[in-house]
């Protein structure tokens, strides 16, 4: 399984050599700001599966939970690239779906933070919706 | 919600104030919008450029539309948030990202553009007119 991608100006390139752990659509207010007014779409990959080339700019914030979140974007075109929690979840990188080359087999599997969505938002009725953060994943069976 | 509108970027370095009403708002699924908007569509409201006041540092990415017109997309230098964009064909207008406006602003998309470039999982509001590309006209 390999995904490739790039930012809008082509300065940043992606190669991802694993399947995503989850793909989510997020309507939290901060994502709406970053995503031009609609939801963010994030595919969660194992950190070690990701190779990025090109200049990357960083921003970040502290979530309500106290977790430090980093956001990376292309300094040349502003394209949102990644979100991650380097201390709390160093093994995961959330790749913004827009940078991945199409066609691909990725689609959101759940909609989160519908409680912060604007009144005009429409959600795919075929996938689960959560008003805020999604429930924690079930513990591994083994 | 009547004008004026206020807004800003995700990180707070850029703030904006818009003195007059929008001409309309739309949702765009063109491939470039998906790239700069995290994988979903862009949402913009069209304002007269002269009605916008912006503080904070913006960076500009320039490009060329299919029509040949020069385009500019402007984002926060500190956090990447897309703030507005425009075309050399209509320099008097700016398309402001709905995400950059403070809620509740009362603006909502009135048409959906470039559905032909949307991913298979996209859902569209059935109440809105849809265009496979964009409506014909002078605007980009
Ligand atoms: Zn770029
Ligand atoms: Zn979010
Ligand atoms: Zn577009
Ligand atoms: Zn900013």
**Which one of the ligands is nearest to A13 CA?**
1
Domains of chain A: 3-116 (2.170.150.70)
- The answer to whether residue B62 is domain-embedded is yes
H-helix segments, B1-140: 31-36
Number of structural domains found in chain B: 1
- The answer to whether residue B78 is domain-embedded is yes
pLDDT tens for residues A18-77?
Answer: 999 999 999 999 999 999 999 999 999 999 999 999 999 999 999 888 999 999 999 999
Q: Which residue in A39, A59, A120 is closest to B109 by CB distance?
A: A120
Helix (H, G, I), strand (E, B) or coil at B37: coil
Q: What is the pLDDT of residue B134?
A: 87
- The answer to whether residue B19 is domain-embedded is yes
- The answer to whether residue B130 is domain-embedded is no
Q: How far is the CA of A79 from the centre of ligand 3 (A)?
A: 13
Q: How far is the CA of B98 from the centre of ligand 2 (A)?
A: 16
The whole model's pTM is what?
Answer: 0.94
Domain that holds residue B91: 5-24+42-107
Residues of B in contact with A70 (CB under 8 A): none
CATH of the domain at B58: 2.170.150.70
pLDDT tens for residues A93-116?
Answer: 999 999 999 999 999 999 999 999
Residue contact B37–A35, C-beta within 8 A: yes
Instruction: Work out the burial of residue B101: count CB atoms within 10 Å of its CB; fewer than 13 is exposed, 13-18 middle, 19 or more buried.
Output: buried
Query: Residue A87: what are its φ and ψ, rounded to 5°?
Result: -95, -50
Residues of A in contact with B99 (CB under 8 A): 32-38
Q: Are strands A22-26 and A110-112 parallel, antiparallel or unpaired?
A: parallel
Checking A25-29 for CB contacts under 8 A at 24+ apart, the result is A25/A108, A25/A110, A25/A111, A25/A112, A25/A123, A25/B40, A26/A111, A26/A112, A26/A113, A27/A111, A27/A112, A27/A113, A27/A114, A27/A116, A27/A117, A27/A121, A28/A112, A28/A113, A28/A116, A29/A116, A29/B103
ipTM of the complex: 0.93
A119 touches chain B (CB under 8 A): yes
């Amino acid at each position: 399984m390999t995904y490739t991608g790039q930012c809008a100006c082509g300065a940043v390139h992606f190669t991802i050599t694993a399947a995503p752990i989850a793909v989510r659509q997020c309507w939290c207010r901060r994502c709406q700001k970053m995503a031009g007014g609609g939801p963010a779409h994030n595919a969660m990959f194992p950190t070690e599966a990701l190779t990025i080339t090109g200049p990357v700019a960083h921003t970040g914030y502290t979530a309500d939970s106290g977790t430090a979140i980093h956001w990376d974007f292309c300094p040349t075109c502003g394209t949102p690239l990644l979100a991650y929690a380097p201390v709390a979840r160093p093994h995961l990188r959330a790749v913004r779906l827009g940078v991945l080359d199409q066609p691909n087999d990725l689609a959101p599997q759940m909609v989160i933070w519908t409680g912060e969505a604007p009144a005009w938002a429409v959600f795919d009725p075929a996938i689960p919706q959560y008003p805020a953060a999604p429930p924690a994943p079930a513990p591994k069976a083994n | 919600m009547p004008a004026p509108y206020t807004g800003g970027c995700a990180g707070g370095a850029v703030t904006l104030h818009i003195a007059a009403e929008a001409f309309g708002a739309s949702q765009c699924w063109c491939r470039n919008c998906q790239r700069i908007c995290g994988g979903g569509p862009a949402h913009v409201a069209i304002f007269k450029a002269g009605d916008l006041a912006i503080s904070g540092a913006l960076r500009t990415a320039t490009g060329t539309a299919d029509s040949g017109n020069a385009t500019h997309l402007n984002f926060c230098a500190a956090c990447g948030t897309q703030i507005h964009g425009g075309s050399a064909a209509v320099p008097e207008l700016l398309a402001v990202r709905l995400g950059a406006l403070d809620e509740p602003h009362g603006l909502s998309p009135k048409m959906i553009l470039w559905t032909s470039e949307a991913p298979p999982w996209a859902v569209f509001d059935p109440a809105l007119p849809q265009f496979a590309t964009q409506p014909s006209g002078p605007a980009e």
